[in-house]
């Protein structure tokens, strides 16, 4: 691929060290981007490729990784460079050699996430929009969490669902739920926390020293419970993760209900990305939430 020459030249410029690609090995595991490990001159990098119009997505991902790195909490791959041409867009990251985790590493993940969640900002949202999967995620800054969640999370996904042909019950339930969001926050506004934003089991691993690494973020500032809720959505994390997190940063009792509210965002996103198979689950989640306020 001709673009490899451009990518190598940009890596050389960004690192200040000459780099020539000797091997480019395709890696599996992703459904949105093509992924490669490139090697040469004793160096290795991780590269994501996608269509040229995806450059803004890569720019936001690089910014999100750097935001996490700046928190000095959990390891995240360092962004090296990103650009594109008329054929392809790319993002080059530090290559991290992954290993199987240990109980100590899982506890470190919980403790590190608690540290990250104590990093705050003046407002909910973030300095730029990004993506959740392949869906745009709007991060317009707001001083009100409930308004932010209503407009830029649930409301946005429900609008997409309507445009995708999902009307009727899901829209009726959704409108009622958005009108009653205050009921789920009896103590008022949550703290503003730095969030990974897409923290499921496929987006963390452990490096060669056994320390946790998080990647593929959808960063913004919001209620930390949204991150914890997503860890429970697709099978859950090990129990020692939750024990370590709660010891470092206890959760409010209301989380047990709000986690369904927060995970509804991701199920609606899956409905919009992958189709009708998620419709019933979304409607059931809305039903459980509405039952809490009857």
Helices (H) and strands (E) in the chain, counts: 10, 11
CA atoms of 259 and 232, how far apart (whole Å): 9
Residue 203 near residue 215, CB atoms below 8 Å: yes
- What does each C-alpha distance from 53 to 56, 90, 137, 216 come to in angstroms? 7, 11, 16, 18
When computed from its CA atoms, the radius of gyration of the chain, rounded to whole angstroms, is: 20
Instruction: Count CB atoms within 10 A of the CB of residue 230.
Output: 24
Which residues participate in catalysis according to the annotation?
198
- Structural domains for the chain: 1-94 (3.30.200.20), 103-293 (3.90.1200.10)
Beta strands in 53-137 (DSSP E): 79-84, 89-94, 130-132, 135-137
Where is 244: in which H helix or E strand? helix 239-248
The whole-number pLDDT of residue 47 equals 98
Paired tokens of 293:
């306020």
What's the distance, Cα to Cα, between the start and end of the chain in Å? 60
CA atoms of 288 and 290, how far apart (whole Å): 6
DSSP 180: T
DSSP 152: I
CA atoms of 50 and 82, how far apart (whole Å): 11
Positive or negative: CA dihedral 176, 159, 194, 192: negative
Q: What is the pLDDT along the chain (294 residues), one digit of tens a residue?
A: 679 999 999 999 999 999 999 999 999 766 789 999 999 999 999 999 999 999 999 999 999 999 999 999 999 999 999 999 999 999 999 999 999 889 999 999 999 999 999 999 989 999 999 999 999 999 999 999 999 999 999 999 999 999 999 999 999 999 999 999 999 999 999 999 999 999 999 999 999 999 999 999 999 999 999 999 999 998 899 999 999 999 999 999 999 999 999 999 999 999 999 999 999 999 999 999 999 986
Residue 79 near residue 62, CB atoms below 8 Å: yes
- pTM for this structure? 0.96
Residue 267 near residue 154, CB atoms below 8 Å: no
Q: How many Cα atoms sit within 13 Å of 157 on the Cβ side? A: 29
| Angle, CA 125 vertex, CA 117 and CA 282 arms, to 5° | 85
């Amino acid at each position: 691929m001709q673009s490899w020459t451009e990518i190598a030249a940009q890596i050389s410029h960004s690192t200040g060290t000459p780099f020539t690609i000797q091997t480019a090995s395709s890696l599996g595991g992703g459904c949105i981007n093509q992924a490669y490990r490139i090697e040469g001159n004793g160096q290795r990098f991780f590269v994501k490729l996608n269509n040229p119009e995806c450059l803004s997505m890569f720019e936001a991902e690089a910014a999100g990784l750097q935001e996490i790195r700046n928190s000095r909490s959990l390891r995240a791959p360092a962004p090296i460079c990103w650009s594109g041409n008329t054929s392809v867009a790319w993002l080059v990251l530090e290559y991290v050699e992954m290993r199987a985790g240990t109980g100590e590493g899982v506890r470190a993940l919980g403790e590190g996430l608690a540290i990250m969640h104590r990093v705050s900002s003046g407002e909910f949202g973030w300095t730029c929009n990004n993506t959740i999967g392949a869906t745009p995620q709007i991060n317009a800054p707001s001083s009100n969490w409930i308004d932010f969640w209503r407009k830029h999370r649930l409301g946005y996904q429900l609008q997409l669902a309507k445009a995708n042909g999902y009307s009727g019950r899901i829209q009726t339930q959704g409108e009622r739920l958005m009108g009653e969001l205050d009921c789920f926050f009896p103590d008022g506004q949550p703290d503003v926390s730095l969030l990974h934003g897409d923290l499921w089991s496929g987006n963390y691993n452990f490096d060669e020293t056994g320390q946790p690494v998080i990647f593929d973020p959808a960063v913004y500032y919001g209620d930390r419970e949204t991150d914890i809720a997503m860890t429970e959505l697709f099978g859950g994390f090990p129990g020692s993760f939750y024990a370590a997190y709660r010891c470092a940063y206890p959760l409010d009792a209301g989380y047990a209900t709000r986690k369904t509210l927060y995970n509804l965002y991701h199920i609606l996103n899956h409905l919009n990305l992958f189709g009708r198979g998620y419709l019933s689950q979304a409607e059931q989640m809305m039903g459980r939430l509405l039952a809490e306020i009857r």
